[in-house]
Structure 1
Amino acid sequence: MRITQGMLSNNMLRNLSKSYENLGTYMDQLSTGKKVNRPSDDPVVAMKGMNYRSQVTEIEQYQRNTGEVRNWMDNSDAAMDKATQALQRLRELALQASNDSYEEGQRENIAEEVDQLKQHLVNIANTSVNGKFLFNGTDTNNKPVTTDAAGIVNKVSTNDRAVTIQVANGTDLKSNINPSQVFGSNLFADIEKFSESLRSGQGNEALQQSIANIDTHINNVVNERADLGARMNRLDLIENRLGEQEVIAKRIMSSNEDADMEEVIMNLKTQESVQRAALAAGARIIQPTLMDFLR
């Protein structure tokens, strides 16, 4: 086959274009730190990268969900701790009032503190975090306990439906407690009955019954806290697992799509040398003409 001047020129231009393309690829890798910057660079790597990114995004969403569950549980546990303290103080007052040496005026003072503790428990039952009432099940927009102007509880509408949040693939975790076991209508009715018995001068039998009722409510709170604590321990395990999965997923994603910068720099330097050589060779393709010899 006869090699013409035009063929040499076309080949030179095609090779220079390919060389520029390779040089641009390495410069893109160097500036972005990625092996591929468009799917056409390597369809297999691009497809795997989409799958790995979806996995990382899913794990990050589960971590946000566990944060929401943690918020519910921590605030619920803190509230029940305060409720336990209030109930224990009510029991102490009941024991003090059962002492026959206490006079009517002193029991009236105890009744005043009992009323204040009841209001404190009402406030705890109506605990709201981020605009959501924690102790009303799925009905998070409404207070579970309401009182009248005199502080008498006139409505207790605790909702026991579970608030579940997905914290892992196929794993839903209950984030709330059963509020009726802790802040049910019996709790406030028993406290008001206790206060009334102090003011009306009822005997020790009524006070002993109040002590027994308070003990029952304390046990209810302790049992709910124990159940909540077990779920908090499980949440710890799930959070640790998600943290490990995030590290693994990001490492695999990085291995798939991140460029080896040392290798990229070496390839770029090599390609620059090739480019200079191609330009030097191309300059010699234009052969001397007859006019060059006639000068």
Structure 2
Amino acid sequence: MRITNRMLSNNAIRNINRNLENMARAQEQMSSGKRVNRPSDDPIVVARILAFKTSIAANDQYQKNMEDAKGWVDASESALGMATSTLQRARELAVYGANGTMPKESMQALGKEVDQLIDEMKQIANTSYGGRYLFGGSRTTEAPFVDNTGNDKNVKPVIYNGNEANLEWEIAPQVKITVNENGQQIFVDAIDTNTGNKIGIFDLLKKLSNALNSGDYSGVEDTLSQFDQAIDHILDIRASLGAMSNRLEMSLSRLGDTQISLTQTMSKLEDVDLAKATIEYKNYENVYLASLATSAKALQPSLIDYLS
């Protein structure tokens, strides 16, 4: 095959451009810190990196969901801890009031304190977390417990305006967890009576208040066992919330380990080995400079250049 000057020139230019592209790619890898910067660099690796990024982003959202759910559960447990303390104080007052030798004026003073405990319990039952009420079921934007303005307010001082719906958080693909305890379950259906009906915590507190204000010693004494039921009821719910909080804590820890593993694996695929890239760049640079020098010698002026 006959080799012409044009063929030599084209080959030289093509080789020089290829070497320049290699040097530019190595320089881009060093400056960006990424081994692949576009799908054309390595389609298979890019596809795997995108899959890892999708998983990491999804896990980030699950982590936020679990943190929010744990905050909700912990806030609920804390509120019920205060409710337990309030009930225990009310029981202490009931024990004092059941003493048959206490004068009526002293019993009425105890009754006034119980009225304050009713207000305190209502405030606890209307505890909010992040602007959302904890114990209203799915009705989280309005206070679930309000003062009763009806004719039966001396028996039911507070009424429940929430519902019994569950609030669920997704903590893994197709895995949801219910984190709320509604006010109906906690404060309304709290105490079993001898008649088979249930009374609420607010009703019990009002019953104690009425008995103290009227000087009814036996009525006060009757509330003692019901306060024990109410306290045990709240403690059972707190235990359930504590178990849920522990589960979320373990899930968060496991997800954190998973995120670290995914990030490390993706880094191995995506991030450039800077020392290796530097060596490759220097090699490409030397090859590029050598191709320039070789081409300059190979493409010497021909006889055509001297014809005029």
Q: TM-score, normalised by structure 1?
A: 0.94
Q: Determine which of 248, 251, 258 is the counterpart of 2:261.
A: 248
Structure 1 segments, 4+ long, off by >6 Å, are 149-152, 291-294
- In structure 2, runs of 5+ residues without a counterpart are 189-198
- In structure 1, runs of 5+ residues without a counterpart are none
- Displacement, 1:291? 9.5
Tell me, in whole angstroms, the C-alpha distance in 2 between the residues paired with 1:224 and 1:70: 15
State yes or no: 1:202 paired with 2:216: yes
Tell me, in whole angstroms, the C-alpha distance in 2 between the residues paired with 1:119 and 1:258: 60
- Displacement, 1:282? 1.6
> 1:119-160 CA distances to partner (integer Å, 9 max, x unpaired)?
011001011111211001112122211015899734223422
Tell me, in whole angstroms, the C-alpha distance in 2 between the residues paired with 1:91 and 1:19: 88
Q: How does 1:82-161 map to 2 (within 5 A)?
A: 82-147=82-147, 153-161=157-165
Tell me if the contact between 1:145 and 1:153 (Cα under 8 Å) persists in the aligned partners. no
Distance 1:132 1:291, change over 3 A: closer
Tell me, in whole angstroms, the C-alpha distance in 2 between the residues paired with 1:288 and 1:236: 78
SS at match of 1:284: helix
Tell me, in whole angstroms, the C-alpha distance in 1 between the residues paired with 2:79 and 2:71: 12
Tell me if the contact between 1:181 and 1:221 (Cα under 8 Å) persists in the aligned partners. no
Tell me, in whole angstroms, the C-alpha distance in 1 between the residues paired with 2:158 and 2:81: 25
SS at match of 1:2: coil
Tell me, in whole angstroms, the C-alpha distance in 2 between the residues paired with 1:172 and 1:164: 6
> 1:226-279 CA distances to partner (integer Å, 9 max, x unpaired)?
111121121122112111111111111111111111111110011111111011
Q: How does 1:1-295 map to 2 (within 5 A)?
A: 1-147=1-147, 153-184=157-188, 186-203=200-217, 205-289=218-302
Distance 1:292 1:237, change over 3 A: closer
**Paired residue total:** 293
Q: TM-score, normalised by structure 2?
A: 0.90
Tell me if the contact between 2:23 and 2:281 (Cα under 8 Å) persists in the aligned partners. yes
Q: Percent identity?
A: 35
> Which sits farther off after the overlay, 102-111 or 39-48?
102-111
- Displacement, 1:117? 0.9
- Displacement, 1:215? 1.3
Distance 1:157 1:213, change over 3 A: farther
Amino acid in structure 1 at the alignment position of 2:59: I
Tell me if the contact between 1:182 and 1:217 (Cα under 8 Å) persists in the aligned partners. no
Q: Please, what is the CA RMSD of the aligned residues?
A: 2.0
